[in-house]
Amino acid sequence: MKNRLNAAVVQLTSTQDVAANLRRANALINKAADAGADLVMLPENYGFLGRDVDKLAHAQDADDGPFITPLRDLALQRGLWILAGSLPERGPDTKHTYNTSVLINRQGAVAARYRKIHLFDVDLADGSRLMESASVAPGDTPVVADVEGWRVGLSVCYDLRFPELYRVLSDDGAELLAIPAAFTRHTGKDHWEILLRARAIENLCFVAAAAQFGSHGGGRFSWGKSQIIDPWGVVLAGTSEGEGFALATLDPAVQNNARAQIPCLGHRRLGVVGT
């Protein structure tokens, strides 16, 4: 039986100041490590948060770019796993990046990469318009990675609204769903926690969601409320407003108990309701 896992979610207010963003992320990762974290997760766009088109200037390699190399060094130094929430990986052409989540192991090596599949193209009621696809290319491959014996399903922000992705991750053995995000304040206040808890309950998985918070400049605001949720839908830990982190111990016995009580993953009838 796998061991318990101490997981932390970091909440940031990233802006266009890359050096400041990385400095604050480094400090909070160290604080989470000091508190006993085995795995520390950063939010979406931790290194730069501005207009999507402006991320093109920061397009980089997902293995050894300026956003990821310092985290690889830190993971090795502290001997912990780090999920770099998402960064602008070089895309298929000069006008697009990928929005890529990168998992780093205790040895400082890249263990997995996931390119965000669902892109946020919306006109919100508050007047803001976000067209991620204008400068970001979608990924096409779900990813589940092994972390200390745990199967971790990777996703990013807007993916949260597409339960079929998490069912695919669950089918591939996911026990923990990682959801780094920069959820807008307008939608987050009504939908963020409900969707997180739904993904946990319907897949009987732990959920760890590291979020951006507050004003990023240019009229962009994120909801925050980073959370860690158990397979029964109980919020184990969460952040308050502002930057910080939340830490919780993931106990495999809790998951086993939930799946024994409600064995719905084995009751699916895809031949009847469709695939």
SS3 236: strand
CA nearest 37: which of 255, 250, 242, 212?
A: 250
How far is the C-alpha of 125 from the C-alpha of 274, rounded, in Å? Answer: 34
Type of residue at 274: G
Report the DSSP pairing between strands 176-178 and 150-154.
parallel
Q: Are 215 and 187 in contact, with CB atoms under 8 Å apart?
A: no
Question: What's the Cα-to-Cα distance from 204 to each of 18, 140, 192, rounded to whole Å?
Answer: 37, 24, 18
**Catalytic residue annotation:** 44, 116, 157
Q: Where do runs of H (alpha helix) occur along the chain?
A: 18-34, 69-78, 163-171, 185-203, 252-261, 270-273
CA nearest 14: which of 32, 4, 30, 28?
A: 28
Q: Are 56 and 135 in contact, with CB atoms under 8 Å apart?
A: yes
Type of residue at 20: A
125 DSSP 8-state letter:
T
